[in-house]
Amino acid sequence: PAVGLVLPGRHVQTLVLFSLHPPDVYSFQEEGPVSDPHLAKHLAHFGIDMLHTNGVLRSLSGSLSPPSPFTTKLGHGLLSGQYSKPPVKSELIEQVMKEEHKSHPEFSSNRQQDAQEFFLHLVNLVERNRIGSENPSDVFRFLVEERIQCCQTRKVRYTERVDYLMQLPVAMEAATNKDELIAYELMRREAEVNRRPLPELVRAKIPFSACLQAFAEPDNVDDFWSSALQAKSAGVKTSRFASFPEYLVVQIKKFTFGLDWVPRKFDVSIDMPDLLDISHLRARGLQPGEEELPDISPPIVIPDDSKDRLMNQLIDPSDIDESSVMQLAEMGFPLEACRKAVYFTGNTGAEVAFNWIIVHMEEPDFAEPLTVPGYGGAGASVFGATGLDNQPPEEIVAIITSMGFQRNQAVQALRATNHNLERALDWIFSHPEFEEDSDFVIEMENNANANIMSEAKPEGPRVKDGSGMYELFAFISHMGTSTMSGHYVCHIKKEGRWVIYNDHKVCASERPPKDLGYMYFYRRIPS
């Protein structure tokens, strides 16, 4: 039977169908599914356009197959008849429509958009607008363990972050047809000089195993600050899966920048497997014989004019510039870390937020969600009840220490200003002679430890961990030569057959170009 979803917004205002052509619908009179070759026309009568759908949404439809609670709700939407009335904007739909256009200006424009960016944008919308305990994005969420090692002292630091897709580099150096590529490039240049037709395209053939190996290899950490040396040093980082998601989204990093900083695309062929085993990429944690780096943050130099800047940067979390967030996320940084970077730099742009990320990326809570219940003139009450003995809430202390000030200094300033964040910042700048008082420090730490011990440990990100065996069921392809132009199509495997979705054209695909995809969707194989 057909199942569908009506989604708001200019780019995704459509009905996503999960059926083959001709589509099936449920007949209450005949108590069973029947074929309706004119379903599009019949749905159009109710204002539903099923012929224009985004490739990402089509691919996601294949991932949320029954008995997913999300898909069950979609089925109810069609079969109950509850939504077969003239469109009425509910409060939720209005909210999502506003969020889609306000939070990401790029997707409300007519410019070329990126499927990976849209996927993260959609996940972000779902995260912010979900109702109840069920969260459809849980099936894509996984934890990444990052191991950073100081090359000089050999000490290590392990951290975890949340991610929603696996980004694979294109290992061009592993191409198996290098002689063909050299010959093609010579013929192409000669044809351009002589103004003759270009030769038939020859794509680099890259083994998938080489891309997977490149993902697993250590990366150099630029501007690494070693807490063991208290100075900058050489560092390397490796990434492993601390959990495996129920549905694994793999992005091939085909888009890059040339030496002239002009966006370009790697038009390559990669033998993507139907069955994928990444069990060997499971994280192992701290190993015997490894010594951890000291938990010390790098010093932050505060400029003279920082007071006004810090005051102005305290923005409402709901007003975070999502376009800057997505620019940072596209670089491979965790989504939650990108949101914190944009928040703590006051929506001053992706470049400034990038600098914040470089300074804070080694902190243990780097990729944890942004939690700022309130701030500013409303005082401490918006942060929750204050502790006994005038102990300020940890949320406000964390904001001030994230700006580079000492914890003791932050607590004393908040105590002196009745836990008002803005007044506490003003107090800090007006007391440059601040010195730690030993009695005060002991009292402060005792109270802080007591409060921390009395609080329950916060629940971590929800993940659906399991085996690392997957099967391919959908992929999205980009047709075009650069990021500035082109067209997206998607293929979905339905009942053992591949189907291509190209705008309103839906048909069987006899030879799906699995080697030319941009984003791949894998479903976990039950162990």
Inter-residue contact 35 to 22 (CB < 8 Å)? yes
| Alpha helix positions (H), 108-253 | 115-129, 178-193, 208-216
Catalytic residue flag (residue 478):
no
Identity at 100, one-letter amino acid code: E
- Please say whether the beta carbons of 485 and 110 come within 8 A: no
Q: Which amino acid is at 469?
A: M
Alpha-carbon distance 236 to 152, whole Å? 11
The DSSP symbol for 292 reads: B
Q: Which of 101, 487, 491, 504 is catalytic?
A: 487
Sign of CA dihedral 179, 185, 188, 189: negative
The encoded tokens of residue 309 equal 């800047």
DSSP-derived 3-state class of residue 43? helix
- Tokens 């007949």 belong to 27
The amino acid at 107: F
Instruction: Give residues with Cβ within 8 angstroms of 341, minimum separation 6.
Output: 328, 333, 353, 354, 356, 357, 360
Contact 362, 292 (CB under 8 A): no
Buried b (16+ CB within 10 A) or exposed e, 287-320: eeeeeebeeeebeeeeeeebeeebeebbbeeeeb
User: 274, 498 in Cβ contact below 8 A?
Assistant: no
Torsion angle of C-alpha atoms 388, 391, 394, 397, degrees rounded to 10 = 170
Q: Which of 419, 351, 427 is nearest to 384 (CA)?
A: 419
- Say which DSSP state 153 is in: T
- Tokens linked to 137: 């994005």
**N-terminal to C-terminal alpha carbon distance within the chain:** 28
Question: Where in the sequence numbering do the catalytic residues fall?
Answer: 487
